[in-house]
Amino acid sequence: MKFLLPAGLGLLALAIPILLLYMLKLRRRQVQVSSTMLWSQLLRDRQANTPWQKLKRNLLMILQLLVLAALVFSFARPAVQTRTVASGSVIVLLDASASMNARDGNPTRFDSARQAVHSLIDDLSPGSAMTLILVTGRPHTLVAAQGDKPRLHSALNKAYPSQGPADWQAALALAAGANQNIEETTTVIVSDGGVSGSILPALPGEVRYLPVGSSRRNLAISAFALRLSMDGPQLFVEASNYSDQAAAVLLSIYLENILLTASQVEIPPGERHGLTLDDLPDQPGIYRAEISSPNPTTPLDDLLLDNTAHAIYQAASERRVLLVSEGNLFLEQLLASLPNLRPYRALPDENGALQIPTDPFDLYILDGVLPDPLPDGHLLFINPGSNAFFNVGAPFRELTDIQVNTHSLTRYLDWSSVHILQARTCQPPEWAEILIEADTWPLVFAGQAQDRRVAALTFDLHDSDLPLQVAFPILFSNLIDYLSPPGAFDASRSINPGESLTISLPADAERVVIASPSGQVYDHRPQSASLTFTQTGESGYYAVNFIRGDSHHSQYFAVNLFDAGESDIRPRQNLQLGTQSVSAPPSGQIGQRELWRWLAALALALLVIEWQVYHRRSLPGIRTLFPTGARPSSNRPRQEQRR
């Protein structure tokens, strides 16, 4: 054992004033008594009978000296050498992914991992520094290059596991960045080894792995989706068994908390069981799938997060589209035929003047017409002139080498039979993605310009046979769905916890209030046409409320843990980083465990004993403060009368 702050022992000199105080007996309070005769006799008898009374009389002094000694020794930071996993410059990657919620730890894996990191901190030798990185979907540094153990403990205590997968690539990049300027860094990964099967890069310096977890007993709902078929909504649910034993599972489906169906299935180890439900009511609703143990008294598995999943069935909302044109029968007919669309038309008057309604529309289609100023919303230009978003040049006629670029907006698009007489040259803006081009000039492009979405066709529809081709409704349907999505988001698609969701805002939304499954409310005042929502850490369904004035409408989206890497909670004894296989290490380095806490606790205990001894002597305590009885003769009423 040695002292990390040996100069602190100099404080033992404080014992001198304590001893002096006792030697000078400064603590004795003088009290007058009528006679000391009986007291002297008593004390003579007592001392003769009990020689240890002298020691007992000084018990308080001894206790106070012991308290001082314990405090001074704890201040001097005594430490014993221990064998530890890491010391020096240490980076700890603490896995906080969903699988760390498994209840095969103390009580969870994350708690066990946290305890292991606490021990690492305790065993750090003096001069060591530790960086703590919490590995979630968005890894972040809890505390950087810190040698102060209380701060490290405090930062660690504030960490909690997430409900989603972890981004190990980003976490290792963060760790590599943290140890860039430090030589001989030891990186300690505290995890159950579920790194989602991704190939992880090697890390500089020494890497050690502290595995946590012991059980692989887990079943999960690995898929739960709803789609609209010809016969109405159709639900698909799939349960997977990641355990090494067959398991009987009770699979239940609820619609708005009302049980639709429940069945008990036996799933062999490593196998899946799928179930499809038809004949569902054609009405919006929130579906919930749940797996549980047929025996209510025994838990199904060790990870609860993936035992429940939600699916949303939501009717698409109707979009308002304004066609500004001098007349285009093809477009008008097409808009009238597309689902969930309410088209409006604005025509120039006899003088050629345009009157754009002030009511907001979800999409403006400007067919050869350029209102000034441009309406405030998503825009689809057809044969435009130069405008605020891009410049348009001279027409060109010979369109050769037409190329359709691969893009979600050109999906199922057959352009081979489309002929265009002429188009206009246009330098595509930086924000735009070119969908179709001819001789390096764009024919169709789209993109997000500032806060709105813009698409353009650089030719007049009347100068082509596109309206007569199959490509016409496909292209316009894709473009309109992109520019003004049928819902604010795709409610039928669930996202993973922690994954961000882009919400296209209705043109009239003044506020967007999102409520999480636990009731947490996020209030947004939209500044642009879309909103990226990132607080999706909880599994369950979220309610998105679009508010305009006194009216509002709600949409829902589901967050489900459909991640085989997280649901497969089998603990791994090895990690593969680059070409290096990292396994659980023996305690290889010499650390130091400080003992000051124990000494401080001892000092506190001694202080309590000293307090009790003092008060036992002073009983009854109130009389110690206000001694009575011993009064000189001046209190005699007789004398007062005489005065």
Q: Would you tell me which residues interact with another protein (CB under 8 A)?
A: 25, 27-43, 45-46, 57, 616-621, 623-624, 627-633, 635-638
Phi-psi category of residue 257: left, alpha or beta, with phi > 0 → left and psi -120 to 50 → alpha: left
Taking the complex as a whole, the smallest distance from the CB of residue 13 to another protein amounts, in Å, to: 25
Closer to another protein by CB, 34 or 257: give it.
34
CA dist 563 and 571 (Å) reads 16
Which residue do the tokens 């016409």 mark? 472
Closer to another protein by CB, 53 or 450: give it.
53
CA dist 413 and 469 (Å) reads 10
Taking the complex as a whole, the smallest distance from the CB of residue 144 to another protein amounts, in Å, to: 55
Taking the complex as a whole, the smallest distance from the CB of residue 70 to another protein amounts, in Å, to: 24
CA dist 34 and 53 (Å) reads 25
Closer to another protein by CB, 7 or 26: give it.
26
Residue 392 C-alpha from the chain's centroid: 46
- Identify whether the C-beta of residue 156 lies closer than 8 Å to the C-beta of residue 188: no
Taking the complex as a whole, the smallest distance from the CB of residue 72 to another protein amounts, in Å, to: 25
Nearest to 496 by CA among 565, 567, 561: 561
Taking the complex as a whole, the smallest distance from the CB of residue 52 to another protein amounts, in Å, to: 13
CA dist 65 and 611 (Å) reads 14
Taking the complex as a whole, the smallest distance from the CB of residue 21 to another protein amounts, in Å, to: 11
Closer to another protein by CB, 16 or 619: give it.
619
Query: Bridge partners of 511?
Result: 547
Closer to another protein by CB, 49 or 400: give it.
49
Taking the complex as a whole, the smallest distance from the CB of residue 15 to another protein amounts, in Å, to: 19
Based on the number of CB atoms within 10 Å of its own CB, is 231 exposed (0-12), middle (13-18) or buried (19 or more)? exposed
Residues 6+ apart with CB under 8 A from 161: 96, 97, 98, 100, 101, 108, 110, 136
Based on the number of CB atoms within 10 Å of its own CB, is 59 exposed (0-12), middle (13-18) or buried (19 or more)? middle
Taking the complex as a whole, the smallest distance from the CB of residue 51 to another protein amounts, in Å, to: 16
Closer to another protein by CB, 419 or 617: give it.
617
Closer to another protein by CB, 42 or 202: give it.
42
CA dist 353 and 339 (Å) reads 31
Phi-psi category of residue 221: left, alpha or beta, with phi > 0 → left and psi -120 to 50 → alpha: beta
Closer to another protein by CB, 32 or 298: give it.
32
